[in-house]
Amino acid sequence: MKNIAERHNYILDKLNRKGYVSVVELAKDLDVSLPTIRKDLEALENQNLLVRSHGSASPVKPRVLDLSINVKTEKNKTEKKIIATAAQKLISREDAIILASGSTVTAFASILEPIGSINVVTPSLGIAILVNDKENVNVTVLGGKMYKNSLSVRGEYAASGLKNISCSKLFIGCDGIDRQTGITCATTEEASLTNAMMQAADKTIVLADSTKFGRRGFGKICQLEDIDMIITDEGLTPEMKEHLEETGVQIVIAKGE
């Protein structure tokens, strides 16, 4: 049996590699009792090195800030362009899609190339303007209260515009993807509207660069198993990819040329 310092180093190393650790798994790995592992995790949590939750532990996750769309657009621009290019390959002839707000979805909207005539529904004024300039795109803009940070609408009025709409695909961004919490964003209002958009689409596709993994936003959109696909970049760890696939989510790793 390893001593306390060795156990703590083992736990933190495994946490760094896998993104989470199980109490039962650690007890087996280290050949110690469950109470011993729980004490180890409590000690590490007191040092702000991890967060305990329901028989497991996760890294300390920085809470995301509700930044403006202009600030977000300047972050990870190369990765967002690569992800957008991969998303374009999912567009079919005569498609009907919903494009949520967010910088990565906006990057996708900017390069969207319709195959035949398509319908696009969006709560984002910026995205509506981008796709309206493209040929063979019919744009429906949801109404509601304008949210300045994202230049998009929110609220019950926006959600009500989705009741008579049926789309094949929904493309959303997010601020956090976490094993336990699921898909999150900065505000509950955005989370609520995104959930309503999910009900209006056959398939939900998350566009998120790899920096979003292991982070949490205040507004919870859904659990991991509620989405169909995540398109991300090569920064996603193999361990996180494996876990996501175990939940039934299809993972697409977008690669640059």
Mind giving me the DSSP string for 52-64?
A: EETTEEE---PBP
Q: What is the pLDDT of residue 192?
A: 94
Q: What is the model's pLDDT at position 73?
A: 54
Q: Could you tell me which residues come within 8 angstroms of residue 28 by beta carbon, excluding any fewer than 6 positions away?
A: none
Tens-place pLDDT, residues 207-233: 999 888 878 888 999 999 999 999 999
Supply the pLDDT for residue 242: 85
User: What confidence tier does 1 reach under pLDDT thresholds 50, 70, 90?
Assistant: low
Return d(Cα 213, Cα 184) in angstroms, integer: 10
* Per-residue model confidence (pLDDT) at position 2: 76
pLDDT of residue 54: 67
Q: How far apart are CA 32 and CA 1, in angstroms?
A: 7
What pLDDT shows up at residue 241? 87
pLDDT digits (tens, 9 = 90+) for 178-199: 877 899 998 899 999 999 999 9
Mean pLDDT, the chain, rounded, equals 86
Q: Return the pLDDT at 97.
A: 97
Do the beta carbons of residue 38 and residue 61 sit within 8 Å?
no
Q: Encode pLDDT of 75-119 as tens digits.
A: 667 899 999 999 999 999 889 999 998 889 999 999 998 888 999
pTM of the model: 0.77
- Say whether pLDDT at 251 is over 70: yes
User: What would the mean pLDDT of 231-256 be, rounded to a whole number?
Assistant: 89
pLDDT higher than threshold 60 for residue 120 = yes
pLDDT tens digits, one per residue of 30-67: 989 999 999 998 888 888 777 777 677 776 665 555 54
DSSP 151-179: TEEESHHHHHTTTT--EEEEEE--SEEET
Position 65 scores a pLDDT of 52
- For residue 8, the one-letter residue type is H
Give helix 77-88 / helix 103-111 axis angle, nearest 10°. 50
In the numeric block, which tokens belong to residue 229? 């696909």
pLDDT above 80: residue 134: yes
Whole-angstrom distance, CA of residue 192 vs CA of residue 16 = 32
Q: Report pLDDT for 75.
A: 61
Whether the per-residue pLDDT at 69 is higher than 80: the answer is no
Q: What are phi and psi for residue 84, nearest 5 degrees?
A: -60, -40
Residue by residue, DSSP assigns 7-40 as: HHHHHHHHHHHHS-EEHHHHHHHHT--HHHHHHH
Q: What is the pLDDT of residue 60?
A: 63
- Confidence band (pLDDT; 50, 70, 90) for 72? low
Question: Residue with structure tokens 């609220």?
Answer: 155
Take residue 207 and report the two structure tokens written for it.
């566009």
